[in-house]
Amino acid sequence: MTTTARDRLLDAAVEAFAEHGFGGTTTRDIAARAHMSPAAVYVHHATKEELLFAISLRGHEHALEVLANAASTSDSPVEQIAAMVQAFSEWHARNSRIGRVVQYEFGALSAEHRAIIADLRRRMEHHLQDALVAGVDEGVLEVTDVRGTARAVLSLSVDLVRWFEPGGAHTAAELGRLHADLAVRMLRPGPA
Amino acid sequence: MTTTARDRLLDAAVEAFAEHGFGGTTTRDIAARAHMSPAAVYVHHATKEELLFAISLRGHEHALEVLANAASTSDSPVEQIAAMVQAFSEWHARNSRIGRVVQYEFGALSAEHRAIIADLRRRMEHHLQDALVAGVDEGVLEVTDVRGTARAVLSLSVDLVRWFEPGGAHTAAELGRLHADLAVRMLRPGPA
DNA sequence: GTCTATAAATTGATAGAC
DNA sequence: GTCTATCAATTTATAGAC
């Protein structure tokens, strides 16, 4: 688990993009954070946008994996949703800087890179939609708008990257549990 | 209701900041969108950051007003929450560009301006927290973590600025209704 | 209050030595 | 694969005419 110069560069770029946004970050700032010269940034990535894409791709792949793994832990739709929301919120809290770049800098990608990332995002939404549809079929969930509700559930996890700070009022695990509980309650059939 | 040059400038800056972020927006881009020369940007605002603050202050004040008005439409905590979430989501959808700047460019403000905006944000959260506490006291809501749950409820409204497009799958009114319904269901006491 | 012109600094990216 | 040095373009902001 040695830290390569490439890893140091990616970590530095994540911090800079999360703090100042892609457009507000200079390649000099990234280089300084990674303790490198401005020229060293271009050894591993041809442009600033390619550096963003590398971060965004890794982040989306990791987040998708977290969601897929959580979905596979049970056959019960309710338990799948609880596990997905719990894991997805906890991941976003534990990786809030990566999460901020992943979620907010989509528009800064090139058209080609945006298409690749958009596909990963679709697959994330489908994991949630599948569980919602299964729950409705089994009669254990009440959902009228599957697409809109899937997005709303994911919003609980995603929006925390906007304000989460390590060492704040909630730990990552606490937010995971809270959001999972709220999500399940949100989808239960109402009182007859 | 005449459109002044100042309004044109603010509208142009909102569009530019929402599309490219504060750091990624040039004053030339703002000027071009407002059909002005680069120098005209500095007639009404001394710096690019002051232009952002003017937008952010207006936006936060407007959003707070929407929330306060919704809270005052009923004495029932459940109805207050439904009205707040419905109005807050609808406002963010109808003003998604302003909402994006308001929610995502907080960190680009100066320390002084950030303190002013932070106070407005605290007041928004308190409107929700007050209704949650009242609902728990009356026994009509079940909330274990008031702060965390207030944030989660607001996340439903806020996160839509990340992806909402006018003319998309949902109208602003539909999202308002959907989110209000989900929020109330999220807070109901569970089956004994 | 609008413009043209421009200053002064910063930017993304490259050249070429080690 | 790292550095120093630098280019060419762009950036924020200002000066001064109308």
B41 closest-nt by C1' vs CA: D13
Instruction: Give the contacts of A13 (CB within 8 A, at least 6 positions apart).
Output: A25, A30, A34, A51, A52, A55
Secondary-structure percent of chain A, ordered helix, strand, coil, rounded to 5: 80, 0, 20
Q: What are phi and psi of A66, to 5 degrees?
A: -60, -45
Sign of CA dihedral A109, A115, A119, A121: positive
Task: Answer whether B24 touches A (CB < 8 Å).
Answer: yes
Q: What pLDDT is attached to residue B192? A: 65
Task: Answer whether A32 touches B (CB < 8 Å).
Answer: no
Q: What pLDDT is attached to residue B3? A: 87
Ramachandran region, residue B188 (left: φ > 0; alpha: ψ -120 to 50; beta: rest): beta
Measured between alpha carbons, how far is A22 from A105 in angstroms, rounded to an integer?
7
Q: Delimit the domains of chain B by residue range.
A: 1-46, 48-187
Report residue B143 as tokens.
Answer: 């909330």
B40 closest-nt by C1' vs CA: C2
Measured between alpha carbons, how far is B192 from B152 in angstroms, rounded to an integer?
24
Of the options 1.10.357.10, 2.60.40.10, 3.40.50.300, 3.40.1410.10, the CATH number for the domain spanning B48-187: 1.10.357.10
Measured between alpha carbons, how far is A181 from A156 in angstroms, rounded to an integer?
11
Measured between alpha carbons, how far is B131 from B88 in angstroms, rounded to an integer?
15
Closest CA to B14 of B102, B117, B118: B102
Question: How far away is chain A from the Cα of B10, in angstroms, using its nearest Cα?
Answer: 20
Q: How far is the CA of A39 from the C1' of C13 (A)?
A: 8
Token pair 């009404």 in the structure block, residue: B44
Name the closest residue (CA) to the C1' of nucleotide C3. Answer: B37
Measured between alpha carbons, how far is A162 from A191 in angstroms, rounded to an integer?
34
Task: Answer whether A126 touches B (CB < 8 Å).
Answer: no
Report residue B169 as tokens.
Answer: 């799958």
pLDDT in tens, chain B (192 residues): 788 999 999 999 999 999 999 999 999 999 999 999 999 999 999 999 999 999 999 999 999 999 999 999 999 999 999 999 999 999 999 999 999 999 999 999 999 999 999 999 999 999 999 999 999 999 999 999 999 999 999 999 999 999 999 999 999 999 999 999 999 999 999 886
Q: What pLDDT is attached to residue A2? A: 81
Q: How far is the CA of A54 from the C1' of D1 (A)?
A: 20
**For residue A122, with 0-12 CB atoms within 10 Å meaning exposed, 13-18 middle and 19 or more buried, which class applies?**
exposed
From the centroid of its chain, how far is CA B101?
9
Q: Which residues of A touch B158 (CB under 8 A)?
A: 155, 159, 162
pLDDT greater than 70 at residue A192: no
Q: What pLDDT is attached to residue B89? A: 99
Residue in A147, A148, A162 closest to B103 by CB: A162
Q: Do A24 and B19 touch (CB under 8 A)?
A: no
Whether pTM exceeds 0.85: yes
Measured between alpha carbons, how far is B133 from B170 in angstroms, rounded to an integer?
32
From the centroid of its chain, how far is CA A161?
9
Closest CA to B191 of B134, B133, B136, B142: B142
Q: What pLDDT is attached to residue A191? A: 81
Domain with residues B1-46, CATH architecture: Orthogonal Bundle (1.10)
Measured between alpha carbons, how far is B91 from B125 in angstroms, rounded to an integer?
16
Q: How far apart are the first and last CA of chain A?
A: 56
Q: Which residues of B touch A20 (CB under 8 A)?
A: 23, 107-108
Tell me which H or E stretch contains B54. helix B48-71
Tell me which H or E stretch contains A127. helix A111-138
**For residue B39, with 0-12 CB atoms within 10 Å meaning exposed, 13-18 middle and 19 or more buried, which class applies?**
exposed
Q: What pLDDT is attached to residue B2? A: 81
Q: Do B151 and A145 touch (CB under 8 A)?
A: no
Question: How far away is chain B from the Cα of A8, in angstroms, using its nearest Cα?
Answer: 23
Question: How far away is chain A from the Cα of B148, in angstroms, using its nearest Cα?
Answer: 8
Q: Which residues of A touch B182 (CB under 8 A)?
A: 149, 152, 186
Residue in A23, A178, A187 closest to B152 by CB: A178
- What confidence tens digit (pLDDT) does each residue in A40-94 have? 999 999 999 999 999 999 999 999 999 999 999 999 999 999 999 999 999 999 9
